[in-house]
Amino acid sequence: MGKIYGGRDVVAGQWPWQASLLYQGSHICGAVLIDSRWLVSTAHCFLNKSRAPEDYQVLLGSTQLYQHTQHTREMSVSRIITHPDFEKFHPFGSDIAMLQLLLPVNFTAYIVPACLPAPGMRPPSHASCWITGWGMLSEDAPLLSPFRLQEGKVGLIENKFCNILYGQRLGKDTSSSVHEEMLCAGDFFTGKAICQGDSGGPLVCDLPRAWVLVGLASWGLDCRHPVYPSVFTSVAYFTNWINETQRLTPLPDPVSGRPQTRLPHQRLWAAGSPVPGTSLVPPQTCLLLLVVLRALC
């Protein structure tokens, strides 16, 4: 599992697009809800694991990983689609995957999609951006029960500066270069960064009228001092691919699956355009959902 190194506990109802990706009942990565049927995560979360959708579930509406409430929903996965160029050209290249839910999830004050960025968009350097995730407090300290979702405010960092920092630490090891489909973020003053297992979680920025999904937690150096920037998959680089995948992917057969499950109030045991019927979320809807969310929370 992975936490935000240097982060703090999240209040219930915050970051309602944050999801936990479960593999055979255990949390393995974060994921991000982008509409009622689709989530995005990082492709490396599925390395050396089964690709059978029935082995995966998605938890939404919860800020405590294994202590769920009436707001938590467990959703079945219908398809897992990783980018065809994943690690084709360099490590962690095109590190993005999409998960189609078997049935659409109902939006609530605790379950709201993040908005996708326009293709090629990059937020201004002064944008208010946040990372969220579960798990490790540091390289050596796991997050303890009740496993509350963590948050951390970070700043965006130019890729060229990020590469200079990584070059100073790693020398000529080009396997750790930050490429054009990636972006860097961090906080040198308070030491906020992603940690192990935080992969697939969101980097969101508060832009005019909406929270926009800017990045997906991909990789970084050890989460200990001195803190180096974290590296994220740039969602704007893949917006067209995301939209095209949604458009071309047929709806699943709901007869073969089970509906969304409202989980009981108990500790769960675990280790670690559009086609007809598809609900895509345009920016205007993101704005409306955000207004409703802020009114209800």
Q: What's the pTM?
A: 0.83
pLDDT at 141: 53
Confidence of residue 261 (pLDDT cuts 50, 70, 90): low
Lowest-confidence region among 56-60, 155-159, 276-280: 276-280
**pLDDT for residue 83 is more than 90:** yes
The confidence score (pLDDT) of residue 167 equals: 84
- Domains of the chain, residue spans: 4-9+115-237, 18-113+239-296
Give 145's pLDDT tier (boundaries 50, 70, 90): low
Q: Determine the topology of domain 4-9+115-237 in CATH.
A: Thrombin, subunit H (2.40.10)
**pLDDT tens sequence across 177-208:** 999 999 999 887 766 667 766 899 999 999 98
Is 253 designated active site? Answer: no
- Mean residue pLDDT of the chain comes to 81
Which range has the worst mean pLDDT, 211-220, 240-249, 262-271, 278-287? 262-271
Q: Among residues 20, 27, 44, 187, which one is catalytic? A: 44
Q: Is the pLDDT of residue 112 over 80?
A: yes
Distance CA 97, CA 109 (A): 26
In the chain, the amino acid numbered 160 is K
pLDDT of residue 80: 98
Q: How much of the chain, in percent, has pLDDT values that exceed 70?
A: 73
Radius of gyration of the chain (CA): 18
CB 229 within 8 A of CB 194: no
**Phi/psi at 45 (5° precision):** -65, -20
Model pLDDT, residue 286? 61
Pairwise pLDDT comparison (3 vs 158), residue with the higher score: 158
**Tokens representing residue 223 in the block:** 């989460």
pLDDT at 276 over 80: no
Options 35, 95, 187, 198, the catalytic residue: 95
Which residue in the block uniquely carries the two structure tokens 């960092």? Answer: 157
Task: Tell me if residue 199 is catalytic.
Answer: yes
- pLDDT of the residue at 169: 74
Rounded average pLDDT over 155-172 = 86
Q: What is the C-alpha separation between 36 and 113, in angstroms, rounded?
A: 8
Assess whether 179 carries a catalytic annotation: no
pLDDT of the residue at 209: 84
* 122 burial via Cβ count (<10 Å: 0-12, 13-18, 19+): middle
Separation of first and last alpha carbons in the chain:
27
Cβ count near 147 (within 10 Å): 22
Q: Which of 76, 199, 218, 234 is catalytic?
A: 199
Note whether 40 and 97 are within 8 A (CB). yes
Q: Who has greater pLDDT, 165 or 74?
A: 74
d(CA 265, CA 71): 10
Which of 41-55, 187-201, 206-220 shows the lowest mean pLDDT across its residues? 187-201
Domain 18-113+239-296 coded CATH 3.90.950.20: no
- Whether 4-9+115-237 and 18-113+239-296 share one fold: the answer is yes
- Confidence (pLDDT) at 268: 29
Neighbouring residues of 30: CB distance < 8 A, sequence distance ≥ 6: 2, 18, 19, 20, 21, 41, 132, 133, 134, 198, 199, 200, 201, 202, 217
Shortest CA distance to 97 belongs to which of 238, 211, 221, 274? 238
Q: Strand pairing of 73-82 and 56-60? A: antiparallel
Q: How far apart are the C-alpha atoms of 133 and 150, rounded to whole Å?
A: 5
What whole-number distance in Å separates Cα of residue 84 and Cα of residue 237?
14
